[in-house]
């Protein structure tokens, strides 16, 4: 049996991983909910953020610069993707949207592989994140504690954006009924562009934060994309609270199962997803009606 | 007779073409590359793709987890052989296929609980799950990251003569043989009633269910068929390479299958094979080019994005469409000729139906009965405590202002939505808990206020889909029967299209029809089951006065033992047609009686005219 310290340490890992998943998944989820597009390139966008951090942190020691540049790169990538590709797909079948974003994801991953090589490369921790911290029962890497704080602040900002601003109101209304929002005189297409950029940025920022925790490698986004799908199925489509709760749940399941038998960590999250599908097919926070 | 045998020959043209290609092309590959192996590899992807095309191209279900079944088939086959459990390669391959199919029933049961992009996400997740299972917990059996080397090739024994399928050419023969059998099988599925239902599911799953087909069961069936093909391809991969690689389970495998299918052309059966040829040949060629080299996958990704954007139906379908004038002429005059026909002639077209009377005679009691049924959405009571009893053969109408709950009431009766309380009886049998499919199977059918057709099928195929369900039941896997091979169904379809005035456009695709024709087809779909009880939701909506007269005549002629419940806003038509009228107002029954009683009822005037007496 694992000791209490091991258990708490893994539970903390679960929160750190889960909050990152929540951030990525909420980006994926608002794009899905508002535009109806399942962005298969979302994992690659997360990877772009991580590589931005890799470039910045290998040359300068500014995490803030990495964060800012990562957000900027993904805002631009999101803008280019939506204007250059996705907008031609709004009237096409959902399957086509999946296919084209899947192809786009391959292009992003392969372009990065061409520029930076296919090998895994370490990213230095920022100086304020080095070392460990004593949390009473157990000692824990400092950066991971800080990650939880940073991501919590970002999720709060995301929450305020969605629930306390005009644009957030329009986005949430758009998730409920995009046609009605259009009829009420909102320029829905421009809102789509902004939502896509914000969603991409969420993935990119998560990538920046994640990079120092692990090394960067071109296909690093793939498992995150799949785990985000699990998060959304568990949490419910287009639901911000669903993405956050689902993210934490998945992160905890992954970490705590690892404590007992790492071989079953991945299997456990799919078991949880299966349970939700059987008991509550629309997801924990999902509404009926939307497929 | 000559036409018959001509059609019979045309039926087998694709099979002959594929057989010829399987004989000729390997020599071309051998001459070009000095080996047939690349073509063998393409055909393994092709077998994988045949099943996926049935799933995605025909039934419209985009799975991103096909690797799960490819890997399962491959690893079960490889494990049984390398561990010495089985010595017969054929039996091991069969076991692999069965295992893949069994796994697919489990995954399908879960994934098919959701539709659209959710289905895609869930299949992808299960694909990843099986990859992790292969890699970690099951690694004692699968070799984990190393895979399973040493998979033997099968052999055939005829008396003392033994033929081994080891080596480049023999394994080509093995794979080509399976490909051809698979192609034959897939063609049978496509041309069978099952294929017709799958096409219906792709275009309009709700109406397919309302027409008496068990949509969920058909989806699960095609999911399992796709897994059978996947398992077979996976097993052959291990045999061909003498090695079963773990990345058969990888997301890249599922992704490559999707890409190849879309590039080649979904819904063509041969498209995935063409796509595999494009992908594998381009990969080999691009890798050789010094300017591209390691960027080959980026270039292929770009090619894919461009193809999806500009050639969404894929290479094969695009070529076939471009070449179709060569062997096919479309009848183009018929829409115009039907429209230009003078009204008198069209009246003739819509003479009283000669359709057989409703089966079962006239049993005593009510044909359809609603007992105190209610339905609320949140706080809004759409239907509140409404009772209605239709005697056998009645022509009853429901009227009421907009929002009175008329359409909801019909949806409840047809079991498209469940009631909150109350009971519904069809010929005395309680159908309150039945689903929409069961309601149709029991002779209750409905035409919709807004056309619910299959826009990319012909008029004939639309009607056939309605007639087949009553003939075949909720689910039947008669894949070796032709969809147009039911004489009774064909006779009914013929009669219906003739009497609805649609005979001339019977072979036109529905989205090329005029609105009035679509409206008649909408009625025809409801009639194709030869229902005993017919619900008509605003059959006259949007029609011209002449067309209204046609439909009114049609409704009159539809009786003969049938019970009809009509919802309509055209008051003149209602008072002309119906024997009894029920007035709904704000979800409740306001009045019921003969047209005369209703027109004199002050409460009805109040509801419609806001208290101003006429």
Whether B258 sits inside 8 A of A99 (CB atoms) is yes
Domain final position from B247, B273, B299: B273
**Is B472 contained in some domain?**
yes
How confident is the model over B26-38, as a mean pLDDT? 91
Are residue B379 and residue B246 in the same domain, yes or no? Answer: no
Least confident of A85-89, A176-180, B239-243: A176-180
Assign A182 a pLDDT band (cuts: 50, 70, 90): confident
CB atoms near residue B593 (< 10 Å): 15
Are residue B517 and residue B401 in the same domain, yes or no? Answer: yes
Tens of pLDDT, residue by residue over A129-154, are 788 887 777 778 888 888 889 999 99
Top residue of B129, B140, B417 to mutate, by most chain A CBs within 10 Å, is B129
Are residue B400 and residue B528 in the same domain, yes or no? Answer: yes
**Is B23 contained in some domain?**
yes
**Is B502 contained in some domain?**
yes
Quote the pLDDT of residue B610. 61
Q: Which residue has the higher pLDDT, B226 or B602?
A: B226
Are residue B205 and residue B68 in the same domain, yes or no? Answer: yes
| Residue B60 contacts A, CB cutoff 8 Å | yes
Whether A277 sits inside 8 A of B117 (CB atoms) is no
How confident is the model over B258-276, as a mean pLDDT? 94
Tens of pLDDT, residue by residue over B366-375, are 889 999 999 9
Of the candidates B262, B302, B309, the beta carbon closest to that of A88 is on: B309
Chain A positions in Cβ-Cβ contact with residue B295 (cut-off 8 Å): 110, 114
Least confident of A257-261, B107-111, B189-193, B319-323: B319-323
- On whether the CB atoms of residues A31 and A97 are closer than 8 A, the answer is no
Quote the pLDDT of residue B196. 95
How confident is the model over A106-119, as a mean pLDDT? 93
Residue found under tokens 């230009």: B340
Three-state DSSP class for residue A64 = helix
* Average pLDDT along chain A: 88
- On whether the CB atoms of residues B228 and B276 are closer than 8 A, the answer is no
Whether A106 sits inside 8 A of B297 (CB atoms) is yes
Of the candidates B113, B129, B301, the beta carbon closest to that of A281 is on: B113
* Structural domain total, chain A: 1
Q: With CA atoms as reference, report the closest residue to B608 among B577, B569, B566, B573.
A: B569
**Is A99 contained in some domain?**
yes
Domain final position from B241, B273, B305: B273
Whether B115 sits inside 8 A of A95 (CB atoms) is no
Chain B positions in Cβ-Cβ contact with residue A236 (cut-off 8 Å): none
How confident is the model over B92-120, as a mean pLDDT? 93
Closest chain A residue to B130, measured at CA = A267
Structure tokens at A264: 């079953």
Show the domain range for A44.
16-134+141-220
Closest chain A residue to B112, measured at CA = A277
**Is A185 contained in some domain?**
yes
In B324-429, which residue ranges form alpha helices assigned H by DSSP?
A: 333-340, 343-349, 406-413
Residues on chain A bordering chain B, Cβ-to-Cβ distance under 8 angstroms: 32, 38, 85, 88, 92, 94-96, 98-100, 102-104, 106-107, 110-111, 113-114, 222-223, 226, 229-230, 232-233, 237, 262-264, 266-267, 270, 273-274, 277-278, 281, 291
Contacts across the A-B interface (CB distance below 8 Å): 109
Tens of pLDDT, residue by residue over A190-215, are 888 999 999 999 999 999 999 998 89
Are residue B149 and residue B269 in the same domain, yes or no? Answer: yes
Three-state DSSP class for residue A289 = coil
Quote the pLDDT of residue B139. 86
Quote the pLDDT of residue B334. 42
Are residue B7 and residue B137 in the same domain, yes or no? Answer: yes
* Structural domain total, chain B: 2
Quote the pLDDT of residue A291. 39
**Is A204 contained in some domain?**
yes
Quote the pLDDT of residue A55. 95
Backbone phi, psi, residue B589, to 5°: -80, 125
Whether the pLDDT of residue B554 is over 90: the answer is no
**Is A164 contained in some domain?**
yes
Quote the pLDDT of residue B325. 62
Quote the pLDDT of residue A125. 86
Assign B355 a pLDDT band (cuts: 50, 70, 90): very low
**Is B354 contained in some domain?**
no
**Is B598 contained in some domain?**
yes
Whether the pLDDT of residue B348 is over 50: the answer is no
Question: Please, which residues have CB within 8 angstroms of residue A223's CB and are 6 or more apart in sequence?
Answer: A43, B128
CA distance B485 to B196: 12
Quote the pLDDT of residue B331. 46
- On whether the CB atoms of residues A116 and A218 are closer than 8 A, the answer is yes
Quote the pLDDT of residue B424. 92
Q: Which helix (H) or strand (E) holds A39?
A: none
Show the domain range for B535.
366-609
**Is B308 contained in some domain?**
no
Tell me the β-bridge partners of B156: B163
In chain A, the percentage of residues whose pLDDT exceeds 90 is 44
Closest chain A residue to B261, measured at CA = A99
How confident is the model over B267-295, as a mean pLDDT? 89
Assign A6 a pLDDT band (cuts: 50, 70, 90): confident
- Quick one: CA torsion of A164, A165, A169, A175, rounded to 10 degrees? -90
Whether the pLDDT of residue B435 is over 90: the answer is no
Q: Which residue has the higher pLDDT, A82 or B428?
A: A82
How confident is the model over B81-93, as a mean pLDDT? 92
Top residue of A89, A226, A253, A281 to mutate, by most chain B CBs within 10 Å, is A226
Of the candidates A99, A230, A281, the beta carbon closest to that of B262 is on: A99
Quote the pLDDT of residue A42. 96
Q: Got the DSSP string for B69-115?
A: HHHHHHHHHHHHHHTTS---HHHHHHHHHHHHHHHHHHHHHHHTTS-
Distances (CA, A) of A37 to A192, A195, B122, B210: 10, 11, 16, 29
Are residue B238 and residue B376 in the same domain, yes or no? Answer: no
Tens of pLDDT, residue by residue over A237-281, are 778 889 999 999 999 999 999 888 887 888 889 889 888 888 888
CA distance B609 to B261: 60
Whether the pLDDT of residue B341 is over 80: the answer is no
> What CATH number is attached to the domain comprising B412?
3.40.50.300
* Average pLDDT along chain B: 87
Quote the pLDDT of residue B352. 39
Quote the pLDDT of residue A287. 65
Assign B364 a pLDDT band (cuts: 50, 70, 90): low
Tell me the β-bridge partners of B377: B380
Whether the pLDDT of residue B66 is over 90: the answer is yes
**Is B401 contained in some domain?**
yes
Domain final position from B214, B242, B273: B273
CA distance A236 to B567: 38
A80-83 long-range contacts (CB < 8 A, ≥24 apart) are A81/A41, A81/A196, A81/A200, A82/A192, A82/A193, A82/A196, A82/A197, A83/A193
For the entire predicted model, the pTM comes to: 0.88
**Is B292 contained in some domain?**
no
């Amino acid at each position: 049996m694992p000791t209490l310290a091991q258990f708490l340490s893994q539970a903390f890992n679960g929160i750190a991983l889960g909050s990152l998943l929540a951030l990525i998944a909420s980006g994926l989820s608002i794009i899905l909910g508002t535009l109806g597009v399942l962005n298969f390139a979302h994992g690659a966008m997360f990877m772009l953020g991580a590589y931005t951090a890799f470039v910045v942190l290998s040359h300068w020691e500014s995490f803030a610069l990495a964060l800012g540049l990562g957000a900027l790169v993904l805002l631009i990538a999101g803008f280019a993707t939506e204007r250059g590709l996705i907008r031609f797909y709004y009237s096409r079948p959902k399957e086509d949207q999946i296919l084209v974003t899947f192809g786009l994801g391959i292009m992003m991953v392969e372009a990065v592989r061409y520029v930076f090589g296919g090998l895994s490369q370490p990213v230095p921790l920022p100086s304020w994140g080095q070392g460990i911290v004593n949390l009473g029962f157990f000692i824990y890497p400092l950066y991971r504690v800080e990650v939880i704080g940073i991501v919590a602040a970002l999720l709060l900002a995301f929450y305020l954006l969605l629930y306390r601003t005009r644009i957030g109101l329009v986005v949430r209304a758009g998730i409920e009924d995009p046609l009605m929002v259009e009829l009420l005189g909102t320029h829905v297409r421009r809102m789509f562009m902004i939502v896509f950029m914000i969603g991409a940025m969420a993935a990119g920022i998560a990538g920046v934060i994640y990079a120092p925790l692990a090394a960067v490698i071109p296909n690093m986004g793939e498992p995150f994309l799949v785990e985000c799908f699990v998060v959304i199925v568990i949490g419910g489509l287009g639901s911000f609270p669903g993405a956050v709760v689902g993210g934490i749940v998945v992160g905890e399941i992954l970490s705590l199962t690892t404590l007992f038998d790492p071989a079953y960590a991945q299997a456990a999250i799919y078991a949880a997803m299966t349970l939700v599908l059987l008991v509550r097919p629309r997801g924990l926070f999902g509404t009926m009606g939307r497929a | 007779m000559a036409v018959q045998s001509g059609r019979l020959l045309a039926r087998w043209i694709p099979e002959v073409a594929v057989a010829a290609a399987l004989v000729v092309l390997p020599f071309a590959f051998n001459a070009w590359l000095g080996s047939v192996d690349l073509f063998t590899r393409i055909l393994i992807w092709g077998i994988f793709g045949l099943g996926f095309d049935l799933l995605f191209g025909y039934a419209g279900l985009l799975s991103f987890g096909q690797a799960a079944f490819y890997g399962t088939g491959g690893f079960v086959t490889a494990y049984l052989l390398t561990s010495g459990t089985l010595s017969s390669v054929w039996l091991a391959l069969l076991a692999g296929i069965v295992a893949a199919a069994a796994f697919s029933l489990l995954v399908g049961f879960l994934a098919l609980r959701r539709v659209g992009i959710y289905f895609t996400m869930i299949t992808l997740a299960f694909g990843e799950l099986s990859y992790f299972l292969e890699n970690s917990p099951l690694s004692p059996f699968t070799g984990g990251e190393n895979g399973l080397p040493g998979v033997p090739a099968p052999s055939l024994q005829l008396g003392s003569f033994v033929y081994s399928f080891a080596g480049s050419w023999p394994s080509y023969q093995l794979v080509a043989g399976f490909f051809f059998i698979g192609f034959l099988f897939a063609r049978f599925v496509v041309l069978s009633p099952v294929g017709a239902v799958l096409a219906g599911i792709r275009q309009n799953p709700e109406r397919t269910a309302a027409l008496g087909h068990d949509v969920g069961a058909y989806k699960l069936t095609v999911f399992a068929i796709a897994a059978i093909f996947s398992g077979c391809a996976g097993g052959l991969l291990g045999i061909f390479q003498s090695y079963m690689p773990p990345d058969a389970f990888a997301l890249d495998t599922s992704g490559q299958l999707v890409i190849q299918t879309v590039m080649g052309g979904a819904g063509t059966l041969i498209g995935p094979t063409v796509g595999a040829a494009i992908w594998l040949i381009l990969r080999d060629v691009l890798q050789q080019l010094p300017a591209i080299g390691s960027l080959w996958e980026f270039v292929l990704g770009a090619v894919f994005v461009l193809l999806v954007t500009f050639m969404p139906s894929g290479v094969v379908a695009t070529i076939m469409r471009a070449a179709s004038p060569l062997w096919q002429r479309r009848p183009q005059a018929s829409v115009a000729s039907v429209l230009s026909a003078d009204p008198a002639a069209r009246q003739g077209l819509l003479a009283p139906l000669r359709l057989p009377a409703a089966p079962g005679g006239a049993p005593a009691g009510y044909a359809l009965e609603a007992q105190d049924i209610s339905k609320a959405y949140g706080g809004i009571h759409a239907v509140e405590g409404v009772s209605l009893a239709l005697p056998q053969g009645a022509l009853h109408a429901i009227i009421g202002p907009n929002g009175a709950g008329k359409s909801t009431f019909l949806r409840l009766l047809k079991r498209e939505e469940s009631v909150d309380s109350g009971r519904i009886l069809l010929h005395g049998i309680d159908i309150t808990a039945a689903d929409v499919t069961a309601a149709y199977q029991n002779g209750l059918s409905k035409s919709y206020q807004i056309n619910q057709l299959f826009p990319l099928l012909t008029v004939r195929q639309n009607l056939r889909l309605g007639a087949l369900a009553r003939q075949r039941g909720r689910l039947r896997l008669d894949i070796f029967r032709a969809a147009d091979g039911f004489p009774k169904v064909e006779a009914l379809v013929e009669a219906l299209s003739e009497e609805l005035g649609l005979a001339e456009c019977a072979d036109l695709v529905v989205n090329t029809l005029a609105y009035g024709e679509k409206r008649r087809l909408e009625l025809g779909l409801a009639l194709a089951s030869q229902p005993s009880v017919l619900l008509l939701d605003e059959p006259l909506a949007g029609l011209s006065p002449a067309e209204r007269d046609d439909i009114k005549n049609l409704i009159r002629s539809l009786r003969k033992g049938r019970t009809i419940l009509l919802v309509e806003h055209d008051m003149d038509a209602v008072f002309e047609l119906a024997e009894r009228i029920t007035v709904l107002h704000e979800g409740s029954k306001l009045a019921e009686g003969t047209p005369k009683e209703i027109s004199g009822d002050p409460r009805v005037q109040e509801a419609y005219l806001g208290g101003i007496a006429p």
